[in-house]
Amino acid sequence: MNFIKQDIILLLIMLIALLLNGCSEKSTNEKQQAVDPTKPSTQVIGQKVVTEPKSAAQKQDRNRNNVYPKNKRNENYVADFNTLDQFIKEIQPPNEQLQKMLKEDLDFDGKPEYVLAFGLEKEEIYNIFVVGEEEHGYHIIDKLEDPVIVVHLNTDVKIMKLDQTDQKFIVVYSIGDGGAYSEGFSIYTLENNHIKSINSDFPNATGQGIRTLKDTDHDGIFESVDYYEFSDTQEHTIMVYQKYDGKGPEKKEILYTNKSKKFVYPSNPKDVILNYLEVDYLMKWFDIPFPEMDQLIDPVAKQTYDFEDAIDLSGLAYLSYPVLELSINEVSSDDNRKIFLVKDDSLEERAKKEILFTLEKQSGKWTIKSIEMNDKL
């Protein structure tokens, strides 16, 4: 009996020990599986660690740090920004302010481009950028290169249609910043994610003159129009124009900017001679006929003269500055017939001849009847 009691007591002790050991293992496993809520949760699978994806906010922070090319050709880079204002402040040249901003889909890819013009004042633009808009921000596509080589100011920039297609062009307008007045323009377009220069028309040679974009014949196609203004006897202006891109045939027209807006026959015989010499020079320069020549000279006397052997007419090339240094002296005269000696008073060495003009009065007008060129003594 005593042995039976002892066996029962040992069995109970063993059962209690087993129960206590199971509770301890359960507590240990629960502690091992506890997760710190401040850390990303992970599962251990063999030797691999699987991490939960980052939040959308974390992705956005990562994307802000991406960079895009400022100019792919020189591989300069600038960080993208989520707002255009931030981007403008980032690329803004020192001491310059944004003077004009244009928004347009220039290449018809469904995404807008921005033309940003920076400068000191509204009509004093120094840097123009074309900026593209992407999914994660903005980037510089290209900077407009200024082709004008004389001193000038860029005063405005526009987006224009210049022909009957849907193509859009960037047009920069400029004026001279020197002593004489001048104006012109430069045309660009966006092709294959780069800015392409189409044409630039500015009086780079003389620094004076007017170049404009104008649909001269109202056919929906703009022309590049050059105005050559002269302060000669008739105040001639020669208009030379062709298609806006500088291609195609060139056309020319003679305009008069005097009060009458047309040819006015000179009443003074000296002015008849000067008018004739000016027109002869301009005809050769622009290779166009001047109808007034048929009125100034008798057909019998009309022929080709090389007046530059006698006088320096190059002063006419200075457009609005009449600097012909001539003396026109009357050597013989009566009521209906006069003879004048024309000499060059400049220091030009090639002027080694003198010219005799004989004029006669017909129907109240003095007309050139003969021209003689003689060597100087």
State residue 364's pLDDT score: 92
Tell which wins on pLDDT, 57 or 316. Answer: 316
Mean pLDDT of the chain: 80
- Within 34-166, where are the H helices? 56-64, 84-91
196: pLDDT strictly greater than 50: yes
Distance set, CA 284 to CA 42, 62, 270 (Å):
90, 69, 22
What pLDDT score was predicted for residue 26? 44
DSSP assigned state of 318: G
User: How many angstroms separate the CA atoms of 262 and 276, rounded?
Assistant: 16
Give the model's pLDDT for residue 195: 97
Residue 288 confidence (pLDDT) above 80: yes
Nearest-10 Cα torsion for 162, 167, 168, 173: -30
Stretch (H or E) spanning 366: strand 365-375
- Contact at 8 Å (CB) between 174 and 155? yes
**What digits encode the pLDDT tens for the residues 215-236?**
999 999 999 999 988 888 999 9
3-state SS assignment for residue 223: strand
Quote the pLDDT of residue 211.
Answer: 96
Look at 58-67, 170-179, 282-291 and tell me which has the smallest mean pLDDT. 58-67
For residue 118 the two structure tokens come to 């920076």
The model's pLDDT over 120-173, given as tens digits with 9 standing for 90+, comes to 999 999 999 999 988 778 999 999 999 999 999 999 999 999 999 999 999 999
Instruction: Give CA–CA dist 236/279, Å, rounded.
Output: 9
- Amino acid 55: pLDDT: 34
Residue 101 and residue 116: Cα distance in Å, rounded? 5
Q: Which of 14-18, 346-350, 369-373 has the highest mean pLDDT?
A: 369-373
For residue 318, pLDDT over 80 is answered with no
pLDDT digits (tens, 9 = 90+) for 53-107: 333 333 333 333 333 334 433 334 344 456 899 999 999 999 999 999 999 999 9
CB 279 within 8 A of CB 294: no
DSSP code for 202: -
Average pLDDT, stretch 231-260?
94
Q: Which two tokens stand for residue 183?
A: 């104006």
pTM: 0.71
The pLDDT value recorded for residue 302 is 85
**3-class secondary structure, 278:** helix
The 10 Å Cβ neighbour count of residue 180 is 14
pLDDT, position 134: 80
Nearest to 241 by CA among 197, 281, 211: 211
Percent of the chain with pLDDT over 90: 57
* pLDDT for the residue numbered 349: 60
**Model confidence band, residue 39 (pLDDT cutoffs 50, 70, 90):** very low
The answer to which of 16-30, 277-291, 314-328, 345-359 has the lowest mean pLDDT is 16-30
Q: What is the pLDDT of residue 53?
A: 34
- Of 204-208, 305-309, 347-351, 367-371, give the range with the top mean pLDDT: 367-371
